[in-house]
Every structure is written in structure tokens, then in C-alpha cells.
Structure 1
Amino acid sequence: MGEPAVRAHTVSSYVPGLHMLRTYRRSWLAKDLVAGVVLTTLLVPQGMAYAELAGLPAITGLYTTILCLLAYALFGPSRVLVLGPDSALGPMIAATVLPLVASDGDPDTAVAYASLLAIMVGVITVLAGLFKLGFVADLLSHPTQIGYMNGLALTILVSQLPKLFGFSVDADGLIDEATAFVRAVRDGETVGAALAIGLFCLVLILVMQRLWPIFPSVLAAVVLAIAAVAVFDLEDRGVKLVGEMPAGFPPFTIPHVPVEDLTLLLAGALGIALVALTDTISNASVFADKTGAEVDGNREMIAVGAASLSAGLFQGFPVSTSGSRTAVAFQSGSKTQVTGLVGAVAIIVMLLVAPGLLKDLPQPALAAVVIAASTSLADVRGLRRLYRQRRSEFLLALAPFLGVALLGVLPGIAVAVGLSILNVFRRVWWPHQALLGRAEGMRGYHDTEFHPTIEHLPGLAIYRFDAPLLFANARTFRDQVRRLVATDPRPAWVVVASEPITDVDTTAADMLEDLDTELAEGGTKLVFAELKDAVRQKIETYELADTMKRDRFFPTVRTAVEAYQAQAGVEWIPGPSPYELE
């Protein structure tokens, strides 16, 4: 590879968008254009709403959307993720910024604080990526992803029902929103025309997606909904519309705030960065499964940081991945980040040329688009499969589902990550353990739990420990061996089938040394077979091999068994081994 090629490869690794544009296929353009236009119908109203949720002027939501889409298109490794203002980050931004704003509540001051907050979040996130902290992507197991996305789908569905029925509710959280929705329907607040146009759009999208997946059903629903407003005078019938768009373009601005407020902003930035990264990587993991791609957590961090940093320089605020908007783009056939570029350009055009283009779009139609997108996030079939195949994995998926549904999206993510970590720790702490023996018609030595033994060697117990031997499970190993030697008759040798033991730390090494001394005093020899070379080298570094002598280590279980036979002078006799695991 020549120097120019190496340079181009290096640039592409840091700016994946350039590689995407160089390798772009003409056949993708139509789908990306359609997906970008459809996505714009969500980006505009959601960007404005989430800005107000953060306590900022609505126009800043559009500025933020434009800049983060452009930045992620350049730096983002995922072809389908959509970044932007996020409902989960809105309250965190407000909680950080509003207490620092002067008592008169000047919006320009609030924008300055929010912009500097976005710059801080961007710098923190980029540094996290450069220092390769993308291992966060590995903290979500597939069952927790299934549970999280099902909970997110339910949350999105319930949050959009009031808009679909033509009214709004003042509630927060799944249960409160559902309760308020039922109460409003009971009190007769439903707007018939709104429900009719919303259901029409929802049915159209879902049916066409099933019968004719390549048809741009979401775009068709949006166009028909706008036409219905004009034909049936739906606004006069109580149907809420998106309304006139604010005009203008985001100016480049370096925010200035009092130095004494920087510490509080930094504290908020750390929390927002952590939440944004966790949300982004969890969504990236889920959509990577759908597209067959690999998640690069470090590059995702850099890209999300670049998006927040860019938004902060143009009067924007911190951003994260949107599961619903990504689902809309995905369902609309998006192939690359050109979809995001189309969305950014479309918003710019509307702000400068045609701010009234979508003013007649009914809010119930938007709700239908989001609800349809939420169905693509749900994986009920995956939950059923887990329930059939492994109940413990099903329960692992159920916990983040309930966490998202009952506690909120961000606590749900925390539950998912926490449970994934605990599940890994549980498997290391209490790994599968087995006694090995000879089984009828099979060569070698096999788990007696699944293959009943037909013969055994008196005084020999072959024990397998299926995990690295670490501080967390050293006591488990020791106690199990103690129970083995407490059997009557006491085994003369305990052969540890060590091939699954991929590591031994210093705590475990100290335990083995003490255990070996204890067993020797009782007349039992502790022996290791098939210990990996790397692990054997560590044991030698700990000087454990000198203590236990080299005759305790055998290349295979068979050679260890033959050595025991030669020393004990015993032969195989019929019947199962007297040794059992508890």
C-alpha cells in the first residue's frame, strides 16, 4: 500500500463520512432521499419541542439538529443512527442551565450556558473515544438489549397516544402518562377528526410496510395527511398542526459565561456525557444487529462528541441518539448517513426559503409515524424465544424492560448495563463445575451430570472448573474441592481438568498454595491437567509451581490418570464414582 493510500485510509478511519461518500452507490440515493425527507417531518417538530423541554428557545432545537446531523455524517461510524435533541437529555440540560440563568430568565443567557455545556460534553466525549473507552458497548448483553428496546417501544407508544387522539396530557413517566391518557379519553377530550387522520396514517404505514415494504409508506402518509387538512378543513375541526416554522440560520457563536459557573456546568456535562454515550452505544448495538454491522464504541464516542461540539458552536445544546428517529430512518429505507445530510439540508431550506412548508402537517400524523416506528423497535418474538430457551435470560431481559417502562429510559439503560455486568460477574463467581468420568461408547472423560459413568478408578476424582480462577471465585473453587475430599473414602488424587481456566490471579494463587498444603496434610494430592501455557507461566511467576512441584502438572487428563494408575496400582472397576458435586 503506497503512501497516498495509507494517508487516505488514515483519514477515512477518523472521518468515516469521507469513505462513505467515496464508496457511495447510486442505487442508494433514492432511498436515502426519501428517508431524509420523511425524517425531516420528525426532526423539525421534535427539535423544537425538545429545545423548549430544555428551557431554551425553540429555534435552538433546529440549529442543534442541523449541526449534529452534519457532524455525525462526517464522523459517525454507523450508517443508520440519527442524532439530535433528545427528550431524555432535555430535563438534564434544564436542571444544569436554568439555576445558573439570571432571575429574569433571559433566553440569550440560557442559550450561552447550554452552548458551552454542549462544548464541554463534546470535549469530554471525544476524549473518551480517543482514550478507547468504547468498551461500554460490550456491557449490554443481547437479552438486556431486547428488554431495553421493548421497554423503549412501549414508552414511545404510550407517549404518542394523546397526540394521536388529538389532545395533550401533563404527565411524566409511563404509568402517569397512561393514567392521564385514559382519564382524558374518559372525560371526552378525544378529537374525532384527529383520531381519524392519525389512525388512517398509522394503518396505511403498517399495512404498506407489511404488503409492500419498498413503498415509502411514511412519506405517503405525511403527504396525504397534509392534503386532508386542506380538503376537510381539519384545523377548524380541532386538529392541531405543526404550524409556521421560524426563519433564520444558526450563527457561529463562541459562548461566554462567568468563570465561577464553569464548575457547575462541568458537573452537569459529565452526567450528560455519560447518559448520551450509554444511550448512543446501546442504540448502536441494537441497530447494528439489524443491519449486520459491527459497533465501534470508540468511534461512536468521537462522533457523538463532534456532534455536540458542533452544535455548541452554533447556539445549540448537547445531543444524543434518538431511537425513534433512527427507527423512522431505518423503516424508510435509509442506507447511509446521506439520509442525515438530506435532513439537515431540508431544514436549512425550510428556514431560509419555505418556513411554511410543513405548517399544515397534522400532529396526529406525526404521532402515527412515531408509533409505527416504535413497532420496529419491539422484539416480542425475541422475548418469547428467551422464555422458551432459557428462563434466566428471559428474566434478564424482563428487568431492563420494566426499568425502561416504569423508571424511565435512562434508568432502564442503567438497569440493562448493571444487570449485564452482574450477569458476567455471576457466571465468573458461580461457574459451571463438573466431575468427569468414563461414559459408555465415548472416548475420553465427560461430565457425569450429562453422561453417567460406567466405571471409575478408586481414589481418583477428576474435577473441572469452567472459568478463570480469580479473587471472585477462589472461595467457590476451594470449598468445592474441600467437599470432594470430605467424601468417604477420601480421594488420593484430585485432578483438576484445567483447560477452561484461562487465568489465575494472585488471590487464587495464594488460595491454591494454602489448599495444596491442607490437602497434603490429609493425604490428598492436588494435580492439574491441560493447564494453558500462559496460565502456567503466571503460576511460575507467582512461584506456585516451585511450591507444588512440577510433578503436579500434566499435559492432558489422560496422562494424569495414567500417572495415578501407575502410582496407586489400581484398575478401572465397574460402577459410578463415589464422588459428587453439591
Structure 2
Amino acid sequence: MRLPSGYGRDLIAGTVLTTLLVPQGMAYAELAGLPAITGLYTSILCLLAYAVVGPSKVLVLGPDSSLGPMIAAVILPMVVAGDDPGRAVALASMLALMTGVLLTVASVAKLGFVADLLSRPTQLGYINGLALTILIGQLPKLFGFSVDADGLFAETAGFVRGVADGETVPAALAIGAAGLLLILLLRRYAPKIPGILVVVVASILAVSVFDLADRGVQVVGTLPRGLPPFTLPSAGWDDLGLLAAGALGITLVSVTDTISTASTFAARSGQEVRGNREMLGIGSANLAVAFFQGFPVSTSGSRTAVAAQAGARSQLTGVAGAALIALMLVLAPGLLRNLPQPILAAVVIAASLSLADAAGARRLWRQRRVEFSLAVAAFLGVALLGVLPGIAVAVGFSVLNVFRRTWWPYWTVLGRPAGVNGYHDMTSYPEAEQIPGIVIFRFDAPLIFANARTFREEVRALARAEPKPRFIVVAAEPITDVDTTAADMLEDLDAELNAAGISLVFAELKTPVRQKIDRYKLTRSIDPAHFFPTVEDAASALRGGGPTRVGPPPG
């Protein structure tokens, strides 16, 4: 049977993609504190679910390096030492179920804007902190030993102590470091060569030829044969609180990553990103994996790029990848039994290095120091407090930054520069002409409770200047809102200025804002003749000592 035109390329792309899905799925499962096989189960189900529900033709979902530490931070504290790994799997499945429900509800409620809760600077700081956390956490595995510690500093100290005590397995370090170096070199100088596949195949051969397992190198071993059974997620009532908190953080990161990745690839193909449909797609994928021993998933930029480069045109690519993984588990579960654990660590470390964005941090330092400080704060939140608290810190600083800009907005006095039409910021044009007796004041923010006092104090300062103005004209075009607190402030301020022989005047109020002014009945105290459609009209009317024309505000 001949496939329809274009489908052959999708099948080829799916085959290429599988070479990345298998080792990354296993590596990211262990990063999350779960058996490697769960990464393959998760990859199969999420690819199939997204192919049915997801809107994008090329996005690839799966276990993700940025979610792994978050999953581990949630489930590992609830797993008692010596517990069967089944409890960790059950908790991870419940976490996926909660994440899927949250994403689905957010999609139905059209809450795609939640991705905006992580601003670019705080997202940058969080990701850099996450990359460092992943790197430090995988170093012991790369060196052939393990560390029983929690937190960046404890893990760092444990790693240094292990190296100093001679716990390093030379063969493990040799194969792990060589694999990491080869992945990075191929990524840098030969990106079309599947570096991870080359390293996986070479390391399996090395283990077999040189009997590295007998020299202390731990290997994956034979995987369980067959497909994952249908399993209901379960957790105790005492665990639900922490699981819910973790699901919220994972949901936020998943949405942010997915919309960001979708936007990048949609721009290349001329498609439109549908944020709410994307949330439904990844929500459905998480719900699917939850019932087959899986854990939370998100979009993968690296795997999507591989699929696109291989010629993927539809979600048949993901279906082909899922089918090939399933065939491997059914027909050849021992195919990867000699895959060294240090190679899985190398795969994760390579992913963490690709997550880090030092260049972006340097750019923020050059462009805007305040936002660089936000990135540093988010970085320290992850490094010092942990992955989940780090998310809360990042979101908190993003929200505080928005509030700061509204609380202390930019304001300026306007003048008319020689040879330039209109009135402009006197900071940029210090020689601009000012009309005697008139100060034109621009306030670049909605006028609300948070900045009403700032507005009042700045206007009072202008009123105290010498020579004393007769009119203070508010160039109100940037003022997109006036709330009731600000309305009360304006009424009191107008009365205060009138007592000092100064009139408060407004120009360029937007129609919705002027309607609010009328609804608040401010025109009972502020002269209706002191509202002008433009700054030019206000200046012309007031230059002679009073208004000559009043028109409707611009829309």
C-alpha cells in the first residue's frame, strides 16, 4: 500500500525522532526519580494523545528536563527509603493526573494568559537556576557513584566529598565524560548528526567489548517486556496537598514552555498559535499518561527541532515514534540492557547546558539592570530554596515587577522643541519652550489606588514651583484607567489647587476614561471647560488665560 503524499517523510522523521525519544525518555525519568522504563511508557502515551487532540502539526511532547527536577522535588520527599519504586510511580501518575486536569480546566476557561505570569527575565533566571541544579545533581552519576542529599549546596558538598573519598569509578567517568564531550561536539560542529544516538550505540558497544559492567559501570539492564498496563493513579489524602502544589507549578512551566515553543515553530511555518488549544493538547497528554504509569510531560523544543529538521509535516511523526518505542518494548526489551547509566547522566547534563542562557543574562545586564536583578533573584530562588519554591519566587517577582511599574510609573513635563511639531518630553528636549503660567504634565500609567499618591505628590511639587503656574495640564493619553480611589484623589487635589489659584486641566483623555470621569461625577468639582481633546488645544486655549474652545475627547 502506498502512503499518501508527504506521509513517507513523516514516517522517516518519526524514525529519526525515536533515536532521541528513547534515551532522553529514560534519562529524564531517572532525573525525576523514577524507573527508566516509565520514561518510555510516558513517551508512547503522550505522543498518541497529543496527535489526537493537539493543534500543532509539528510539536513533540514528552518527558522534559525542566520538569524532571520538579517531579522529583514533589514525589521523593513522600517516598520512604526502601519503599518499592511502585509508590514513586503511583505518586508521579497522580501528579500527571492533577496536571492534566488543571491544564484542561485552564483551556476550557481560556486561561492561556497564565503563561504571562513568568516574565522573560524571571523565566531566564529560573531556567538558569534549574540548569545548574540539574548539572550538579547528575555529576555523581557521571562519576559512577550516588549522593544522598537534598538541595543544591548539600548535593554539591556530597559530590565533592565523594570525589575526595575516592568513590569515583574510573571506567564510569571515562565513558560518561567521553559521551558528554561527543554529544556537545556533534551538537556544535555537526548538528545534523544524531549525537545522542551515536553516543548510545558507541557506549553499548564499549560495555560489551570491554566488559565495563565488571569494572563498576552500572547499566540500565533488560527493560520489562510489553506495553504499560492500565493503572489507576493513587495517593494518600496526606499527599494530595503537596501534589496539588507541584501540579500548579508544573502546569505553569508546561504552559509557558509550550506556548513559547509553539510560537517559535509556528512563526517558521506561518501558522497561528492557539494557546488554549495547546493547553488542551498537553492536558490530554498528561491525562493519558496518568493511567499508564507515566508522569507529567511538556513540549520539547529539542525534539520538535529534530522532527522538523527530519521533514515532519504532521503528528504522524509522533505516532510513528510511539509505535517504534512500543515495538521495541514488545520485541526487543533487552536492546538497551548494556546502556551505561553515566551515558544517561551525560544526556541530562547536555540538556541542562542547552537550557542555560548565559548570553541572555549578559544581554539583560547591558540593556536593563532592574530586569537583570529580577533574573538573579529568580536564579537564587531556585538555587537556594529549591525548584518548586523557585517557581513561586519567579512568579512573585514577575507580578511585583508589574506592580512596581504601575506604582512608580514614568512621568515628565512636556515642552515645545524648536523645529519639532507638538509637545515632547523635556528630558529628551531640555531646551524645549514652556508656556509661561502653564505646566504640561504627562503620567505614563493608569491612575489607580497604587499610584494615586505618587500622582498627587508630583502635581503638588509642580504647583509649588516658581514662578507659580496658573494651569497644570495633564497630558492624559497614557492614562488608560481611573479607579474610584484615584477619582477621590483628583477631586481633593482639584479643590486644593483651586484654593492656591491653580486650575487642573486634562487633555487627550480616552473616551472610556472620560466616561468614567463623568460616572464618578468629577465634573461637579473639576470645570467641564477644563477638558480638551488635544494638548495643542489646551495650550492654545489657556495661553490667553482661559479656554476658548472645548471639544469631545478623542476616542
TM-score interval for Structure 1 and Structure 2 normalised by the shorter chain: 0.7 to 0.9
Structure 1 residues 151 and 485 mapped into 2: Cα distance closer, same or farther (>3 Å)?
same
Change (3 A) 1:381 1:474: same
1:42 counterpart letter in structure 2: Q
- Does 2:24 align with 1:42? yes
Q: Give 1:178's match in structure 2, choosing from 156, 165, 183.
A: 156
Offset of 1:72 from its aligned partner?
3.0
- Which residue, out of 108, 128, 136, partners 1:150? 128
Q: Measure how far apart 1:118 and its partner are.
A: 4.7
Q: Which residue of 1 aligns with 2:45?
A: 67
1:62 positional shift? 4.8
Partners in 1 of 2:69 and 2:297 — Cα distance? 9
Q: Deviation of residue 153 (structure 1)?
A: 1.9
Match of 2:284 in 1: 306
2:179/2:203 contact within 8 Å kept: yes
* Aligned counterparts of 1:383 and 1:113: Cα–Cα separation in 2: 36
Q: Are residues 539 and 450 of structure 1, via their aligned partners in 2, closer, same or farther at CA, if it must alter by over 3 Å?
A: same
Match status 1:277 vs 2:254: no
- Selected match of 1:82 from 52, 56, 61: 61
For structure 2, list consecutive stretches of 5 or more residues without a partner in the other structure: 548-555
Partner of 1:137: 115
* Aligned mates of 2:431, 2:537 — CA distance in 1: 19
Question: Counterparts in 2 of 1:225-240, with a 5 A limit?
Answer: 225-240=203-218
The question of 1:412 aligning with 2:390 is answered: yes
For the pair 1:480 / 2:454, whether they are aligned, the reply is no
1:485–1:491 CA contact under 8 A, matched in 2: yes
Matched, 1:380 2:343: no
Give the alignment's TM-score, normalised by structure 1.
0.82
Question: Is 1:534 matched with 2:508?
Answer: no
Mapped to 2, the partners of 1:542 and 1:308 lie a distance apart of 49
Superposition RMSD on alpha carbons, in Å? 3.2
Specify the code of the residue in structure 2 equivalent to 1:411: P
Superposition deviation, residue 67 in structure 1: 2.3
CA distance in 2, matches of 1:365, 1:178: 20
Secondary structure at 2:450 match in 1 = coil
Q: Deviations over 1:123-157 (max 9, x none)?
A: 34312221122221111222222222222222222
Is the 1:49–1:58 contact (alpha carbons within 8 Å) kept by the matching residues of 2?
no
In 1, Cα distance between the equivalents of 2:88 and 2:145? 30
Looking at structure 2, the residues matched to 22 and 277 of structure 1 have their Cα atoms a distance apart, in angstroms, of 37
Aligned counterpart, 1:426:
404
Partner residue, 2:74: 92
- Aligned AA (2:363): R
* Worse overlay, 499-508 or 346-355: 346-355
Deviating more after overlay: 178-187 vs 58-67:
58-67
| Partner of residue 296, structure 2 | 319
User: Match of 2:341?
Assistant: 363
552 and 22 in structure 1: CA distance in 2 versus 1, 3 angstrom threshold = farther
The alpha carbon displacement at 1:493 in A equals: 0.2
Structure 2 counterpart of 1:504, which letter?
V
Decide whether the 8 Å contact of 1:68 with 1:83 is kept in 2: yes
- Structure 1 stretch 409-418 or stretch 60-69: which is displaced more? 60-69
8 A contact 2:74–2:243 mirrored in 1: no
Match 1:516 to one of 486, 489, 494: 494
**How far is 1:26 from its partner?**
5.2
The CA deviation at 1:432 is 0.4
What is the CA–CA distance in structure 1 between the aligned matches of 2:335 and 2:274, rounded to whole Å? 38
Deviation at 1:224, TM superposition (A): 1.2
The one-letter code of the counterpart of 1:37 is T
Shift of 1:208: 1.8
Contact between 2:32 and 2:69, CA under 8 Å: does it hold in 1?
Answer: yes
Structure 2 Cα separation of the partners of residues 459 and 351 of structure 1: 84
Q: What is the aligned partner in structure 2 of residue 160 from structure 1?
A: 138
Count how many residue pairs are aligned between Structure 1 and Structure 2.
534
Question: Comparing 277-286 with 445-454, which one deviates more in the overlay?
Answer: 277-286
Q: Is the 8 A contact 2:93 2:296 kept in 1?
A: no
Displacement after TM superposition at 1:166 (Å): 1.8
Measured at CA, do residues 306 and 24 of structure 1 come closer, stay the same or move farther in structure 2, by a change above 3 Å? farther
Q: Counterparts of 1:259-270 in structure 2 under 5 Å?
A: 267-270=241-244
Contact 1:205 1:217 in 2 (8 A): yes
Question: 60-69 or 158-167, which moves further after superposition?
Answer: 60-69
Match of 2:437 among 452, 459, 462: 459
- Corresponding residue SS for 2:148: coil
Check the 8 A contact 1:51/1:58 in 2, yes or no.
no
Q: CA offsets, 1:333-360, max 9 Å, x none? A: 5757556444433432233221101111
Separation in 1 of the partners of 2:93 and 2:428?
62
2: CA distance, partners of 1:58 / 1:233: 22
CA contact (8 A) 2:71 2:92 kept: no
The 1:58/1:565 distance shift into structure 2, 3 A limit, reads closer
How far apart are residue 472 of structure 1 and its match?
Answer: 1.1
Contact 1:496 1:528 in 2 (8 A): yes
SS at match of 1:453: coil
Q: Cα gap change, 1:124/1:379 in structure 2, threshold over 3 Å: closer, same or farther?
A: closer
Superposed displacement of residue 423, structure 1: 0.7
Secondary structure, in 3 states, of the residue corresponding to 1:458? coil
1:554, distance to aligned residue in structure 2 (A): 0.7
Q: Which stretch shows the higher mean deviation, 113-122 or 266-275?
A: 113-122
Deviations, residues 41-83 of structure 1 (Å, cap 9, x unaligned): 121354367464xxxx876665444323322333345644533
Distance 2:69 2:249 in 1: 12
Deviations 1:1-25 (A, max 9, x none): xxxxxxxxxxxxxxxxxxxx99977
8 A contact 2:25–2:62 mirrored in 1: no
Q: What SS does the aligned partner of 2:433 have?
A: strand
Inter-CA distance 60–389: structure 2 relative to 1 (3 Å threshold): closer
Q: Which amino acid aligns with 1:321?
A: S
Aligned residue in 2 for 1:391: 369
Aligned amino acid, residue 279 of structure 1: V
The Cα shift of 1:477 comes to: 0.6
> Comparing 544-553 with 530-539, which one deviates more in the overlay?
544-553
Q: CA deviation at 1:28?
A: 5.4
Q: Which amino acid aligns with 2:24?
A: L
The aligned counterpart of 1:525 is: 503
- Distance (Å, rounded) in 1 between the aligned partners of 2:389 and 2:69: 14
> In the aligned structure 2, how far is the partner of 1:505 from the partner of 1:527?
18
1:280-339, Cα deviation, whole Å (9 max, x unpaired): 12323553565465765433432333233223333x3551438xx654664685757556
- What per-residue deviation string (whole Å, max 9, x for no partner) do you get for residues 158-204 of structure 1? 22222222222112222222221122112222222222222222222
Amino acid across the alignment from 2:247: A
* Counterpart Cα distance in 2 of 1:256 and 1:167: 32
TM-score (norm 2): 0.86
1:89 CA drift (Å): 2.3
8 Å contact from structure 2 (residues 33, 76) kept in 1: no
**1:327–1:376 contact (8 Å) kept in structure 2:** no
Aligned to 1:499: 477
Q: Which amino acid aligns with 2:171?
A: A
C-alpha separation in 1, matches of 2:347 and 2:306: 10
Secondary structure at the residue paired with 1:361? coil
- 3-state SS in 2 of match to 1:526: strand
Query: How far off is 1:488 after superposition?
Result: 2.9
Mapped partners of 1:125, 1:116: distance in 2: 14
Give, in whole Å, the separation in 2 of the partners of 1:408 and 1:337.
Answer: 36
CA positional deviation for 1:375: 2.1
The alpha-carbon deviation at position 95 of structure 1 amounts to 5.8
Out of 220, 223, 226, the residue aligned to residue 248 of structure 1 is 226
